[in-house]
Amino acid sequence: MSITVYTKSGFCGMCKATERALNSAGIEYTEVTLDDVDQAQIDEWKTTLGTNAPIVVTDTETGSWSGFRPDKIGELAAALTSSTAA
């Protein structure tokens, strides 16, 4: 399972909430600041995922999303639990 959380530099409430929820669920992820991402990629995410930070990119069935999405984090946690139980 690969998860990357692209966050805004400085304070971002939804970014911090996402990181806290992922940490609380025991989900490992890589954090990258949006300042380090090509503008063309950011524009694509705005079109496909939305305009809120953070951008969470996964290689799971849960898919990728923007903003703080406790429902998606719950789906990731459930997928992680089922894959470790198998």
Label the pairing between strands 3-7 and 55-58. antiparallel
pLDDT of residue 60: 86
Rounded Cα distance between 43 and 4, Å, is: 17
In this prediction the pTM is 0.90
pLDDT of residue 62: 86
**What domains can be seen in the chain, in order of their start residue?**
3-80 (3.40.30.10)
Pure H helices in the chain = 13-24, 39-48, 70-85
pLDDT tens for the 86 residues of the chain, in order: 899 999 999 899 999 999 999 999 999 999 999 999 999 999 999 999 999 999 999 998 889 999 999 999 999 999 888 766 55
Q: Residue 70, preceding bond cis, omega within 30 degrees?
A: no
